[in-house]
């Protein structure tokens, strides 16, 4: 396993189900609140956006930065987390 955070590993280990958006790797309280304000209150909604962008990491990172004000590290972490989840479960 690469040196991913515990949050990343926890998220990628099982179907996301109804997990909140803060369960995503890279998304903490502050970013989670901002995403919820935009209507992305659950992780699967963010997944929806990721899939809409055809799982393009660059575009998703851009979108996440615009929507939530994430920095590069957080956006990359979230994007990578979703990519791996999709590889495992989609």
Partner 1 sequence: MPVFVEDPSQFSKQRLKLALISHNVELPPEESKKQVYMDLYMKHIWNQSNADFSSDEEDQTQSSTEEEIREENNMMDLSLLTDDQLKKKLLQYGVKPGPIVASTRALYERKLQRLEHSSQFKVNGTCTCDTAKYSDSEEEEEEEEEENEEESGSEELRPESVSHTETSATGSTIENKLSPQSQLGETAKTCNQTPVENRVQWEPMTDILMDLFPDAATTPTGIMATKRRPIKGAAGRPVQFKYPETPLSPATLEKREIQRRLVPLWVQIIVFLLVTALLYFIYISMEDQLENPFSALLDSLSEETVTEEVSLIPSCSQDVHTSEVAAQEQAVF
Which residues are near partner 1 by CB under 8 A?
A: 1-5, 13, 49, 51-54, 56-59, 62-63, 65-66, 69-73, 76-77, 80, 83-84, 87-88
CB of 18 to partner 1, least distance (A): 19
CB of 89 to partner 1, least distance (A): 8
Q: Is 78 exposed, middle or buried (0-12, 13-18, 19+ CB in 10 A)?
A: buried
CB of 64 to partner 1, least distance (A): 11
Q: How far apart are CA 1 and CA 32, in angstroms?
A: 27
Q: How far apart are CA 22 and CA 90, in angstroms?
A: 21
């Amino acid at each position: 396993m690469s040196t991913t955070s515990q949050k990343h590993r926890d998220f990628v280990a099982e179907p996301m189900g109804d997990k909140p958006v803060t369960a995503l790797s890279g998304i903490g309280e502050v970013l989670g609140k901002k995403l919820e304000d935009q209507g992305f209150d659950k992780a699967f909604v963010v997944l929806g956006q990721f899939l809409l962008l055809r799982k393009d990491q660059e575009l998703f990172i851009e979108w996440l930065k615009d929507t939530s004000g994430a920095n590069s590290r957080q956006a990359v972490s979230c994007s990578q987390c979703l990519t791996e989840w999709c590889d495992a479960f989609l």
